[in-house]
């Protein structure tokens, strides 16, 4: 099975900072990659699909890039409401594996 | 507005069974693949199972294969997860989720329910 590895596992940044989270697939998955945000105590929310397509209603400070094995989620200007754990997920074939998550906190 | 509402969670002894339900509303349920995703307390998301829009294709995580069974009733707009031979490691919040875009299984999950807690303990 293809493994999904996120880095870092956690990070702390200041409001307004640019934040980058990476996700690496152990084999190529084309652009079948999604990013989800899970705020504390809340349900996961789809942010980005097809590696770089922003889901409707998601703020434009979020962006995604990559193809094949290496992917990136960027928050251009971190806001207090962005405190959350972020997960990548592959969906090109079974199993629909999630990364282990990246916890984002405000410094 | 598309909504999903899970039910059926609770406390069950190891080796026991439970059936979860997920009632869908606000979209054409029969057009979309549906999934179950779980999250153990304090842990990350784990994909469990997916079923095609017709119910003709199903896939499972290795950790649940042979013990959990996904099904759907498109006439009732409801997704199910039959859970047998439950283990302590199955303790988690179970979410149902809708695939984005009709037809294909190879989609991200755009709508999630609130989740239902399953606790396996003696």
What would the pLDDT profile of B58-85 be if each residue is shown by its tens digit?
999 999 999 999 999 999 999 999 999 9
Q: What are the tens digits of pLDDT across the range A18-67?
A: 999 999 999 999 999 999 999 999 999 999 999 999 999 999 999 999 99
| Region for A80 from its dihedrals, namely left if φ exceeds 0, alpha if ψ lies in -120 to 50, beta otherwise | alpha
Put simply, the answer to whether B44 touches A89 (Cβ < 8 Å) is: no
For the cut 90, the answer to whether the pLDDT of residue A12 exceeds it is: yes
**pLDDT given at position B40:** 98
Per-residue confidence (pLDDT) for residue B102, from 0 to 100:
86
A46 vs B100, B113, B114: nearest CB: B100
Which chain B residues have a beta carbon less than 8 Å from that of A50? 108
Distance CA A102, CA B47 (A): 17
Query: Are B38 and B119 spatial neighbours (Cβ–Cβ below 8 Å)?
Result: no
CA B71, B75, B78, B84: dihedral to nearest 10 degrees? -30
Residue in chain A lying closest to B45 (CA): A98
Smallest Cα distance from A11 to chain B, Å: 16
pLDDT, one tens digit per residue, over B29-57 is: 999 999 999 999 999 999 999 999 999 99
Instruction: Provide the total of helices (H) and of strands (E) in chain B, helices listed first.
Output: 0, 11
Confidence at residue A103, expressed as pLDDT on a 0 to 100 scale: 98
Task: State phi, psi for B29 to the nearest 5 degrees.
Answer: -50, -40
Give one word for B77, left, alpha or beta, with left for phi > 0 and alpha for psi -120 to 50.
left
What rounded mean pLDDT belongs to chain A?
98
Residue A100 with chain B: CB contacts under 8 Å? 44
Kindly determine whether residue A32 and residue B106, on different chains, have CB atoms separated by under 8 Å.
yes
- Per-residue pLDDT of B6-32, as tens digits, reads 999 999 999 999 999 999 999 999 999
| Cβ <8 Å between B108 and A95 | no
The pLDDT of residue B30 is 97
Q: Which two structure tokens, joined as six digits, stand for B42?
A: 């304090």
Neighbours of B31 (CB within 10 A): 14
Contact (Cβ atoms closer than 8 angstroms) between residue A18 and residue A10 = no
Closest-CA residue of A relative to B59 is A94
Determine the pLDDT at residue B103.
Answer: 83
């Amino acid at each position: 099975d293809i493994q999904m590895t996120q880095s870092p596992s956690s990070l702390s940044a200041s409001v307004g900072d640019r934040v980058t989270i990476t996700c690496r697939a152990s084999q190529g998955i084309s652009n079948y990659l999604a990013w989800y945000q899970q705020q504390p105590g809340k349900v996961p929310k789809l942010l980005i699909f097809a590696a770089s397509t922003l889901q409707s209603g998601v703020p434009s400070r979020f962006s995604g890039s990559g193809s094949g094995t290496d992917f990136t989620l960027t928050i251009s200007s971190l806001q207090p409401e962005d405190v959350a754990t972020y997960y990548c997920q592959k969906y090109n074939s079974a199993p629909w594996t999630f990364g282990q998550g990246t916890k984002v906190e405000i410094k | 507005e598309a909504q999903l509402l899970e039910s059926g969670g609770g406390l069950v002894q190891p080796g026991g069974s439970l059936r979860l339900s997920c009632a869908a509303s606000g979209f054409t349920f029969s057009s979309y693949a549906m999934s179950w995703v779980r999250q153990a307390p304090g842990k990350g998301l784990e994909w469990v199972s997916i079923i095609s829009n017709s119910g003709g294709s199903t896939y499972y995580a290795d950790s649940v294969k042979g013990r959990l069974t996904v099904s759907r009733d498109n006439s009732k707009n409801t997704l199910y997860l039959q859970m047998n031979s439950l283990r302590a490691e199955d303790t988690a919040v179970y979410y149902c989720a809708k695939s984005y875009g009709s037809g294909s299984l190879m989609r991200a999950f755009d709508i999630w329910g609130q989740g239902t807690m399953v606790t396996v303990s003696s």
